[in-house]
């Protein structure tokens, strides 16, 4: 199901975390995979070292994939940095510049070259975040960068539609990756587990499974969407401690006199 046999995929930021899980999932589904990352991959994937904030590097990534595979069918714009915990008081030009250069320029450059280098009927998948949809204190830099990714997804879907290339975003909640679990006594973990309706963190493999579906022929009529994979976190509050008013009794409303 959701076979990627015969497809060629490029996954940015594929050396670790969600990107690594996507690369493995795609390969298991039959795709040839090029991992593009600043850090070498410890796995046996085809690999190219790039910085997605540099347009020339992104162009070189597509060139490398086409030399190795003869075509590119799938692009996953996953590479990003995560300056969480920075509120408005901590915003600096340097931090904004670096975050947007990686998280936003990287996606914009990826889509720019996808428009001319992806095969007709190809797939572009952008990894956004739940904080690109749900505002939270301490996300004054990271959140806006991921909101921009979601908007770029919509623009890309419109512009690439004539070639039947679909463009979708995936917005994970808090996922069990080293960026989360390697933080000693990370307060985010119990907070998210308490607030998430399903009561747990997500797993990288779950995000990868959604990406596999979006990359497959079965998802040919889905484009321009931002799909949350967050255990219900962005659906609403789990706890809202309110008592019904005194004029609500036995499931009925009584007008006050």
DSSP state of 76: E
Point out which residues pair with 11 in neighbouring strands.
Answer: 35, 76
Which sign, positive or negative, has the C-alpha torsion 145, 151, 154, 157? negative
User: What pLDDT score was predicted for residue 1?
Assistant: 83
- Over the stretch 89-138, which tens digit does the pLDDT of each residue have? 999 999 999 999 999 999 999 999 999 999 999 999 999 999 999 999 99
Distance (Å, whole) CA 245 – CA 236? 22
Of the residues 37, 142, 150, 167, which is catalytic? Answer: 142
- Asked if 240 is an active-site residue, the reply is no
DSSP string, 87-153: -GGG--HHHHHHHHHHHTHHHHHHHHHHHHHSPTT-EEEEE--GGGTS--TTBTTHHHHHHHHHHHH
Structural contact between residues 160 and 115, judged by C-beta atoms closer than 8 angstroms: yes
Distance (Å, whole) CA 7 – CA 231? 30
User: What pLDDT score was predicted for residue 6?
Assistant: 97
Distance (Å, whole) CA 152 – CA 135? 19
Cα separation values, 53 from 56, 76, 164, 179, 232, Å: 9, 15, 27, 20, 32
Distance (Å, whole) CA 134 – CA 12? 25
Distance (Å, whole) CA 60 – CA 138? 35
User: What pLDDT score was predicted for residue 250?
Assistant: 87
Q: Which domains does the chain show, CATH number per domain?
A: 8-232 (3.40.50.720)
User: What does the chain come to in residues?
Assistant: 257
- Global confidence as pTM: 0.94
∠ CA 155-159-163, nearest 5°, is 140
Structural contact between residues 161 and 203, judged by C-beta atoms closer than 8 angstroms: no
Digit-by-digit pLDDT tens for the chain (257 residues) are 899 999 999 999 999 999 999 999 999 999 999 999 999 888 999 999 999 999 999 999 999 999 999 999 999 999 999 999 999 999 999 999 999 999 999 999 999 999 999 999 999 999 999 999 999 999 999 999 999 999 999 999 999 999 999 999 999 999 999 889 888 899 999 999 999 999 999 999 999 999 999 999 999 999 999 999 999 999 998 777 788 888 888 889 988 76
């Amino acid at each position: 199901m959701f076979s990627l046999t015969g497809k060629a995929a490029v996954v940015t930021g594929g050396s670790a975390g969600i990107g690594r899980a996507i690369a493995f999932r795609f390969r298991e589904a039959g795709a040839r995979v090029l991992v593009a990352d600043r850090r070498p991959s410890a796995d046996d994937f085809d690999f190219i070292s790039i910085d997605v904030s540099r347009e020339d590097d992104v162009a070189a990534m597509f060139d490398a994939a086409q030399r190795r595979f003869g075509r590119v069918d799938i692009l996953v714009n996953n590479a990003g940095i995560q300056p969480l915990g920075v509120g408005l008081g901590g915003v600096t030009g340097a931090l904004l510049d670096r975050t947007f250069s990686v998280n936003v320029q990287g996606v914009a450059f990826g889509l720019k070259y996808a428009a001319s280098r992806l095969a007709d009927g190809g797939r572009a998948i952008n990894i956004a975040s739940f904080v690109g949809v749900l505002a939270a204190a301490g996300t004054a830099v990271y959140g806006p960068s991921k909101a921009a990714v979601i908007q770029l997804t919509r623009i890309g879907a419109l512009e690439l539609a004539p070639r039947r290339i679909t463009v979708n975003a995936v917005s994970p909640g808090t996922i069990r990756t080293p960026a989360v679990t390697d933080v000693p006594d990370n307060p985010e973990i119990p907070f998210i587990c308490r607030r998430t309706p399903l009561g747990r963190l997500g797993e990288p493999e779950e995000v990868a499974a959604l990406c596999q579906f979006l990359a497959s022929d079965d998802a040919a009529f889905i484009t321009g969407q931002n799909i949350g994979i967050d255990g219900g976190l962005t659906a609403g509050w789990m706890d809202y401690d309110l008592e019904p008013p005194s004029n609500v009794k036995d499931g009925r409303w009584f007008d006050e006199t």
